[in-house]
C-alpha cells in the first residue's frame, strides 16, 4: 500500500517516527509530508531516514515538483493518514483551505483520508473542534478518536494521540475492509448504479408528555449500513432516520424524524421518487392516544399509571399497497419462530422481500455492530452467516440485485 503520511504541529509528531517504521517494516511505501508546524517539533531528516524518501514540505518548491508534483502525489497515495492532526489542520480541512502542501493534497485527492487528532483536551472538546470533526465524518473522513491520558502540557484528558501500533492496526483494518467492499461492489456489478433507494433506520419515539416517551433499542446501524453500501454501489440514497447517535454515511440525503407519524410523512414524501424502499426502522406499532402537553404528575395515591395506546400507520404496508410503488423490502425483528413469523409478515404486508433477524436476549439484531439475517421472498431465501452490519449491507444488496425484484412481484433466478 502507498501511504501518504501527513505530520502536523504537535508534540505527538515524535510518535509518527515509530508509525513510519511500522508501515515500512510491513512492506508499505511511505511518503511523508510535513507542515511548518510539524518541522517546529521534529526534523524531516528523521522521517527521510525511516521512510527512504525525501520529506515533502513545500507547495512551491520547483525542485520537489520536478519529481512528483503535488497533484501526482495526491494520486500516488492509496491512503492518506494525518498523524498527528492538529486542531488547526482539522479546521483547514473542514473549510477546504489549500495553504500548504498537506491541505492542498487533501483537497486534490479522491483517496481515503484518516485523521488522528492530538491536542489539549479543552481544545478537543471545544465546540468548534467537535463541529469540524462531525463535518469531516459526514464527508467520509475516518477519524481515529484520541485517547485519554496525561498530556504534554501536564493536564490529563482526551486529546492524546493514539499509540503508533494502534494507528497502524486501524489503517490495515480500514484497507482490508475497503478491499472487501470493493469485491462486494464488483460482485454486485452495475445493478445499483443510478438506482434510487429510500431507506428508513433507527427507532421512533412516541411522546407521552414533554419528558417521557415510548422508544426501542434500535441504534440505526443496520439501516445506516445499507445506506452506506447502496451509496458506495452507485445508488442515490435517501435515509429517513429516527433519533440515533450515529453519523450519516457520506453523500447520503438524510431526513431526521422522531415519531412514527413523522417517519410516515417523510416516507410519503419520498417513496414515489425511488426504485427501492427498504424499511429497516424499528417503527413503534403504537402511540399514546392523548399526548400530554404538560408533564404528567405522579398521583400520590395511585401506584399504577395506565396509558391508552392506539395503532400507528403500518408504513411499509401502506407503501406496498400504493398503485405506483417502489420495490418494497421490509425487516422482521423476531424473538422466536424468526423465519416463520417473517414469512407471515412478507405475505400479510404484501412485500416483495423481507429480511429476518433475531432480536431479544442474546440476539445480535438491536444495537450490535454484528447481525445474522435471512433474506426471504415468496419462493426463495438467502441466509447470511453472522457478520458486521457494514458487510451485510453489501451482501444483502448483492442478493437483492440477483433477485431481479420488480414492484409487486418477484422473479427469482
Phi, psi angles (nearest 5°) of residue 96? 75, 35
Closer Cβ to ligand PMT, 1 or 339, answer by number: 339
The active-site residue out of 106, 153, 251, 409 is 153
Binds ligand PMT by CB under 6 A, chosen from 17, 33, 241, 260: 260
Minimum Å gap between C-beta 278 and ligand PMT is 8
Among 107-115, 136-144, 216-224, 374-382, the segment contacting ligand PMT (CB under 6 A): 216-224
Minimum Å gap between C-beta 45 and ligand PMT is 49
Q: Locate all alpha helices (DSSP H) within 59-195, ordered by sequence.
A: 62-67, 70-76, 87-95, 101-108, 121-125, 127-138, 164-188
By the rule CB under 6 A, 395 interacts with ligand PMT: no
By the rule CB under 6 A, 120 interacts with ligand PMT: no
Binds ligand PMT by CB under 6 A, chosen from 312, 374, 395, 398: 312
Binds ligand PMT by CB under 6 A, chosen from 330, 396, 397, 405: 330
By the rule CB under 6 A, 281 interacts with ligand PMT: yes
Give the CA angle between residues 234, 413, 320 to the nearest 5°. Answer: 65
Closer Cβ to ligand PMT, 132 or 312, answer by number: 312
> H or E segment at 229?
helix 221-232
Binds ligand PMT by CB under 6 A, chosen from 273, 285, 321, 386: 285
Q: For the chain, give me the number of helices (H) and strands (E)? A: 15, 23
By the rule CB under 6 A, 314 interacts with ligand PMT: yes
409 is catalytic: no
By the rule CB under 6 A, 282 interacts with ligand PMT: yes
Closer Cβ to ligand PMT, 11 or 313, answer by number: 313
**Dihedral of alpha carbons 252, 253, 256, 262, sign:** negative
**80 grid coordinates:** 492518506
> Exposed e or buried b for every residue in 229-239, given b needs 16+ CB within 10 A?
bbbbbebbbbb
> H or E segment at 381?
strand 381-383
Give CA–CA dist 368/218, Å, rounded.
9
Minimum Å gap between C-beta 305 and ligand PMT is 24
Q: 3-state DSSP call for residue 64?
A: helix
**95 grid coordinates:** 473549510
Name the residues that contact ligand PMT, by CB under 6 A. Answer: 202, 218-222, 260, 279-283, 285, 312, 314-316, 330-333, 345, 357, 359, 365-367, 389
- Residues annotated as catalytic are 153
Amino acid at each position: 500500500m502507498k501511504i501518504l503520511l501527513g505530520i502536523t504541529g504537535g508534540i505527538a509528531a515524535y510518535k509518527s517516527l515509530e508509525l513510519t517504521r511500522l508501515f515500512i517494516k510491513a512492506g508499505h511505501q511511505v511518503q511523508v509530508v510535513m507542515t511548518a508546524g510539524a518541522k517546529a517539533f521534529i526534523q524531516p531528516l528523521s522521517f527521510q531516514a525511516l521512510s527512504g524518501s525525501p520529506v515533502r514540505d513545500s507547495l512551491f518548491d520547483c525542485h520537489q515538483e520536478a519529481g512528483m508534483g503535488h497533484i501526482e502525489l495526491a494520486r500516488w497515495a492509496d491512503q492518506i493518514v494525518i498523524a498527528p492532526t492538529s486542531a488547526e489542520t482539522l479546521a483547514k480541512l473542514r473549510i477546504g483551505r489549500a495553504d500548504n502542501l498537506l491541505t492542498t493534497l487533501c483537497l486534490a485527492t479522491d483517496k481515503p483520508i484518516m485523521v488522528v487528532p492530538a491536542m489539549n483536551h479543552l481544545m478537543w472538546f471545544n465546540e468548534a473542534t467537535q463541529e469540524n470533526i462531525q463535518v469531516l465524518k459526514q464527508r467520509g473522513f475516518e477519524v481515529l478518536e484520541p485517547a485519554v491520558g496525561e498530556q504534554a502540557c501536564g493536564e490529563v484528558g482526551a486529546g492524546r494521540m493514539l499509540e503508533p501500533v494502534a494507528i497502524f492496526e486501524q489503517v490495515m483494518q480500514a484497507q482490508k475492509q475497503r478491499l472487501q467492499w470493493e469485491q462486494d461492489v464488483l460482485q454486485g456489478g452495475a445493478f445499483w448504479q443510478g438506482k434510487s433507494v429510500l431507506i428508513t433506520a433507527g427507532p421512533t419515539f412516541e411522546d407521552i408528555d414533554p419528558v417521557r416517551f415510548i422508544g426501542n433499542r434500535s441504534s440505526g446501524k443496520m439501516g445506516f449500513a445499507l445506506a452506506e453500501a447502496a451509496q458506495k454501489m452507485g445508488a442515490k440514497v435517501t435515509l429517513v432516520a429516527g433519533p440515533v447517535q450515529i453519523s450519516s454515511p457520506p453523500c447520503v440525503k438524510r431526513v431526521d424524524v422522531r415519531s412514527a407519524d413523522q417517519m410516515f410523512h417523510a416516507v410519503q414524501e419520498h417513496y414515489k421518487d425511488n426504485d427501492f424502499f427498504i424499511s429497516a426502522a424499528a417503527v413503534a406499532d403504537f402511540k399514546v392516544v392523548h399526548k400530554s402537553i404538560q408533564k404528567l404528575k405522579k398521583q400520590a395515591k395511585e401506584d399504577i399509571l395506565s396509558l391508552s395506546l392506539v395503532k400507528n400507520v403500518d408504513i411499509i404496508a401502506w407503501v406496498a399497497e400504493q398503485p405506483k410503488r417502489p420495490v418494497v423490502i421490509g425487516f422482521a425483528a423476531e424473538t422466536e419462530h424468526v423465519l416463520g413469523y417473517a414469512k407471515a409478515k412478507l405475505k400479510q404486508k404484501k412485500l416483495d422481500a423481507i429480511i429476518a433477524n433475531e432480536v431479544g436476549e442474546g440476539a445480535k439484531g438491536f444495537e450490535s455492530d454484528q447481525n445474522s439475517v435471512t433474506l426471504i421472498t415468496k419462493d426463495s431465501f438467502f441466509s447470511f452467516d453472522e457478520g458486521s452490519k457494514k458487510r451485510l449491507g453489501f451482501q444483502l444488496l448483492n442478493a437483492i440485485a440477483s433477485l431481479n425484484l420488480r414492484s409487486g412481484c418477484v422473479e427469482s433466478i
